[in-house]
């Protein structure tokens, strides 16, 4: 933090609030409301309040989330010690004063849409008001003063303090209330972030704590020397600030501390973040307003380390040769991202794209909205999120697309809820958390037939794989039960399976160079070398994994990146741990993607590891290379599968081979469709008999008027084996008075096989004739 301490009030400053990134209003017990201009360092008095009004809390009316953008906030609510709240315009005109509470109104907060205001007071009441200041309801009443209040991300719930307790109360009557003891002293401040859905609390027990929205403790600080008087989330939910006596602290969302400053300020009673999340203002007990800028942020990729040294300056260091470059910007840096050999930096007005090969000539283009809240990169393009929408640009600065869906709220999107690959954008919706929207990156239109991806539970985190063909694109996601699932992005009209890969997964990441997935599971760090195995042969999935003990990462670690064969994990105390995984699976992926099967087998023989052979077996089946599959399955001792693959080789027609390969992977419906399209009706019936799908076997036989007696004969044999009587009505109906002649049936089956052989040999000879011609 880079600090600036400024005086403009004679008395304690009680509250501060930003209108733009360069303009701040502060209120003080000297009854003045002062406007600060940070560009010119000027201050001006906006209004002098009557002597009996002591301001306590200030909150600007939120910028409209609609299409017509307000450039800045136009009015604010001010709560005061006389039991009133006042709606005051930007110019200082008091539009309305409303009698709200007995005793002081301790806090007032607009909801995210600006459609409702909540106030809390010394009288222990929590009241909801309309935009114009009309009382809608008294949400709750209690015997102790309510010191702080915050809206839930969806504006459907309110969080407030009750002594040492925290209470979350939904606006709907009769809905369940969540209440828990949060501190050992009175709670003075709370904040609830809309992006990460986490809660901050600060108390007289000299601690600050981070909670999830279910009231589970995620972090508790050590006791400080003095009570914690203020806490505030940065808008994007990545950082938060903590204020106490002569103390300002900057923390990561997981709780650990980036910076501790000891300004001479008295207690900091209120902290406000600027809209772009780059600066903090604090209301101080000694009449000062303290300003702080967030600097020293770091980005790393391969051999490059980039540091934001000042508001408008970055330092690039190449660790291979210790070369240092300085990047100067016209405006202050708001967001940056370094990946795929490009650095993307957004300032308050422009976006800069640097190539790691050349730091001198960035590509620069103007931004539509200004305040970029998220940058995501893929190999071919990158994505920007701001208050107005989502935009995809190429690294040459060309605008590509802007996906949209009804009710989209860009202010709550983060790296866990948006994912980008070379061809696809995935966005998790906030309105219905069980749904993922999928878009084509090149057009911004919904993917395929426009069907959404829906899951049975709420989804927490999503990630698209980065390599391979568009048709094979996969998305992995974690749901609220902490189960990890994988599914195909392209749906092709059929209902694609969503398959579970693991349980108790807290964080995940795809490799940037090949489709290897890693995650932190309960007490293990797990790498899925070939997640696609679940679609090919689920039995061998455990053999394609790499696992190691993760207890060294302590509680709540987070995967920061997975570049090449290096995984970077941030522990709960903020330290970074780097793990290297075997480079061989990535080489295997490369060989298989370019169909170098012999090289792949040679590599596995060289490495002599079961995981490699298991991955190769699954890859070979997925790519229909049964010769390689046979070698690989033999190497991992799956003899039954080797025999089955051998039996596939002996099948007379190409359609039969294809169908049995599909059956090998469990795609029975597709196998049946292939056989029926090729006119191999008996073979389609036979696969259903082999799988004991008796209903379907009879259905096909009746539909195509063939082999009904064959189906009945096999059914009878099956029942006799188990000493059972026929109970199925359809089988009883068709089997009535039918005498089964096994000799006749065997002859029919022989005839079908001969017919298939002749067909395949005639199609082969006609192919050869064509080749000769």
Give which of 596, 662, 585, 655 is closest to 628, Cα–Cα: 596
Find tokens 């604010």 and name the residue.
76
pLDDT at 573: 85
- Tell me, yes or no, whether 557 lies in a domain: no
Strand locations in 566-702, DSSP E? 566-570, 576-580
Say if residues 353 and 346 touch (Cβ distance below 8 Å). Answer: no
pLDDT at 512: 92
Spatial separation of the C-alpha atoms in residues 607 and 623, rounded to whole Å: 22
- Tell me, yes or no, whether 515 lies in a domain: no
Spatial separation of the C-alpha atoms in residues 256 and 186, rounded to whole Å: 23
Spatial separation of the C-alpha atoms in residues 32 and 388, rounded to whole Å: 35
Task: Quote the number of domains for the chain.
Answer: 3
Spatial separation of the C-alpha atoms in residues 620 and 703, rounded to whole Å: 36
- Tell me, yes or no, whether 121 lies in a domain: yes
- Tell me, yes or no, whether 625 lies in a domain: no
- What are the C-alpha distances in Å from 501 to residues 52, 205, 389, 526, 659? 64, 43, 33, 11, 26
- Residue ending a domain, choose from 325, 351, 367: 367
Domain span at residue 362? 295-367
Based on the domain organization, do 139 and 125 belong to the same domain?
yes
Based on the domain organization, do 214 and 305 belong to the same domain?
no
Say if residues 111 and 149 touch (Cβ distance below 8 Å). Answer: no
- Tell me, yes or no, whether 744 lies in a domain: yes
Based on the domain organization, do 279 and 331 belong to the same domain?
no
- What are the C-alpha distances in Å from 601 to residues 520, 540, 723? 30, 18, 49
pLDDT at 768: 55
Based on the domain organization, do 272 and 326 belong to the same domain?
no
Based on the domain organization, do 243 and 355 belong to the same domain?
no
DSSP string, 718-729: HHHHHT-----H
- Tell me, yes or no, whether 550 lies in a domain: no
Spatial separation of the C-alpha atoms in residues 539 and 537, rounded to whole Å: 5
Based on the domain organization, do 61 and 205 belong to the same domain?
yes
Angle (CA) 696-694-701 rounded to 5° is 55
Residues 6 or more apart in contact with residue 393 via CB below 8 angstroms: 351, 353, 365, 381, 382, 383, 384, 399, 400
- Residue ending a domain, choose from 272, 293, 314: 293
Based on the domain organization, do 126 and 262 belong to the same domain?
yes
**Kind and range of the H or E run holding 285:** none
Based on the domain organization, do 233 and 344 belong to the same domain?
no
Based on the domain organization, do 210 and 316 belong to the same domain?
no
Give which of 336, 290, 386, 427 is closest to 63, Cα–Cα: 386
Spatial separation of the C-alpha atoms in residues 177 and 687, rounded to whole Å: 56
> What's the CATH number where 76 sits?
2.130.10.10
Torsion (CA) 650, 651, 652, 654 in degrees, nearest 10: -120
Say how many C-beta atoms besides its own lie within 10 A of residue 310's C-beta.
15
- Residue ending a domain, choose from 293, 316, 342: 293
Based on the domain organization, do 202 and 330 belong to the same domain?
no
Based on the domain organization, do 327 and 286 belong to the same domain?
no
Say if residues 387 and 410 touch (Cβ distance below 8 Å). Answer: yes
- What are the C-alpha distances in Å from 130 to residues 304, 490, 595, 612? 52, 45, 65, 64
- Tell me, yes or no, whether 415 lies in a domain: no
Based on the domain organization, do 684 and 731 belong to the same domain?
yes
Chunked in runs of 10, what are the mean pLDDT values of the chain (773 residues)? 74 92 91 90 89 92 56 80 93 92 95 92 95 92 94 93 95 92 96 93 96 92 95 94 95 91 92 91 92 89 93 93 93 92 92 94 86 92 90 94 88 90 91 90 86 89 91 92 91 70 93 94 92 89 92 87 93 89 94 93 93 94 88 91 82 76 75 79 81 82 81 83 85 77 78 74 58 49
- Tell me, yes or no, whether 372 lies in a domain: no
> What's the CATH number where 340 sits?
2.40.10
pLDDT at 671: 78
């Amino acid at each position: 933090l880079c600090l600036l301490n400024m005086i403009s009030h004679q008395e304690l400053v009680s509250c501060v609030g930003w209108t733009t990134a360069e303009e701040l209003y502060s209120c003080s017990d000297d009854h003045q409301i002062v406007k600060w201009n940070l560009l010119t360092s000027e201050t001006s008095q906006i209004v002098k309040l009557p002597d009996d009004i002591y301001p306590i809390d200030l909150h600007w009316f939120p910028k409209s989330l609609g299409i017509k953008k307000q450039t800045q906030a136009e009015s604010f609510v001010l709560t005061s010690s006389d039991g009133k709240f006042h709606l005051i315009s930007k110019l200082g005109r008091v539009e309305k004063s409303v009698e709200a509470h007995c005793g002081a109104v301790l806090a007032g907060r607009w909801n995210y849409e600006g459609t409702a205001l909540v106030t809390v007071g010394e009288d222990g009441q929590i009241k909801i008001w309309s935009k114009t200041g009309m009382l809608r309801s008294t949400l709750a009443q209690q015997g102790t003063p309510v010191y702080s209040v915050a809206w839930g991300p969806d504006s459907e719930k309110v969080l407030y303090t009750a002594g040492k307790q925290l209470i979350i109360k939904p606006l709907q009557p009769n809905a369940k209330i969540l209440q828990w003891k949060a501190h050992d002293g009175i709670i003075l401040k709370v904040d609830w972030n809309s992006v990460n859905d986490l809660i901050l609390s600060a108390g007289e027990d000299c601690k600050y704590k981070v909670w999830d929205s279910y009231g589970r403790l995620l972090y508790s600080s050590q006791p400080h020397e003095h009570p914690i008087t203020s806490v505030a989330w940065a808008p994007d939910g990545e950082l938060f600030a903590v204020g106490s006596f002569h103390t300002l602290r900057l923390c990561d969302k997981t709780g650990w501390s980036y910076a501790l400053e000891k300004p001479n300020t008295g207690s900091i009673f209120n902290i406000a973040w600027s809209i772009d999340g780059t600066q903090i203002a604090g209301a101080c007990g000694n009449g000062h307003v303290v300003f702080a800028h967030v600097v020293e942020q770091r980005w790393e990729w391969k051999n490059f380390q980039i540091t934001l040294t000042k508001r408008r300056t970055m330092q690039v260091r190449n660790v291979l040769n210790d070369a240092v470059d300085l990047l100067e910007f016209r405006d202050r840096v708001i967001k940056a991202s370094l990946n795929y050999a490009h650095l993307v930096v957004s300032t308050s007005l422009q976006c800069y794209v640097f190539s790691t090969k050349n730091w001198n000539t960035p590509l620069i283009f103007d931004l539509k909205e200004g305040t970029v809240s998220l940058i995501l990169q893929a190999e071919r393009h990158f994505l920007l999120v701001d208050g107005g929408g989502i935009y995809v640009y190429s690294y040459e600065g060309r605008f590509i697309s802007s996906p949209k869906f009804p009710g989209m709220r860009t202010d709550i999107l983060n790296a866990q809820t948006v994912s980008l690959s070379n061809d696809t954008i995935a966005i998790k919706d906030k309105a219905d958390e069980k749904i993922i929207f999928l878009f084509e990156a090149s057009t911004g239109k919904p993917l395929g037939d426009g069907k959404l991806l829906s899951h049975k539970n709420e989804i927490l985190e999503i990630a698209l794989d980065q390599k391979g063909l568009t048709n094979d694109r996969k998305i992995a996601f974690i749901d609220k039960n902490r189960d990890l699932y994988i599914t195909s992005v392209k749906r092709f009209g059929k209902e694609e399976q969503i398959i579970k890969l693991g349980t108790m997964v807290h964080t995940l990441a795809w490799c940037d160079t090949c489709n290897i997935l890693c995650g932190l599971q309960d007490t293990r760090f797990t790498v899925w070398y070939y997640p696609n195995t679940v679609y090919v042969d689920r039995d061998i999935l455990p053999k394609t994994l790499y696992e190691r003990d993760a207890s060294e990462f302590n509680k709540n670690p987070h995967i920061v990146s997975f570049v090449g064969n290096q995984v970077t994990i941030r522990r709960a105390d903020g330290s970074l741990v780097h793990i290297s995984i075997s480079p061989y699976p990535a080489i295997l992926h490369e060989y298989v993607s370019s169909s170098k099967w012999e090289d792949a087998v040679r590599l596995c023989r060289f490495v002599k590891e079961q995981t490699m052979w298991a991955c190769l077996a699954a890859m070979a089946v997925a790519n229909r290379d049964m010769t390689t599959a046979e070698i690989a399955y033999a190497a991992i001792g799956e003899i039954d599968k080797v025999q089955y693959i051998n039996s596939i080789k002996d099948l007379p027609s190409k359609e039969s081979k294809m169908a049995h390969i599909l059956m090998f992977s469990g795609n029975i419906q597709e196998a049946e469709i292939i056989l029926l399209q090729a006119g191999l009706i008996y073979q389609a019936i036979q696969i259903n008999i082999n799988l004991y799908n008796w209903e379907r076997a009879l259905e096909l036989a009746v539909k195509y008027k063939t082999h009904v007696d064959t189906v009945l004969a096999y059914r009878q044999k099956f029942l006799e084996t188990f000493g059972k009587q026929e109970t199925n009505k359809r089988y009883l109906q068709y089997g009535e008075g039918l005498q089964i002649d096994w000799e006749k049936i065997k002859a029919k089956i022989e005839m079908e096989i001969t017919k298939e052989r002749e067909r395949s040999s005639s199609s082969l000879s006609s192919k050869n004739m064509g080749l000769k011609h």
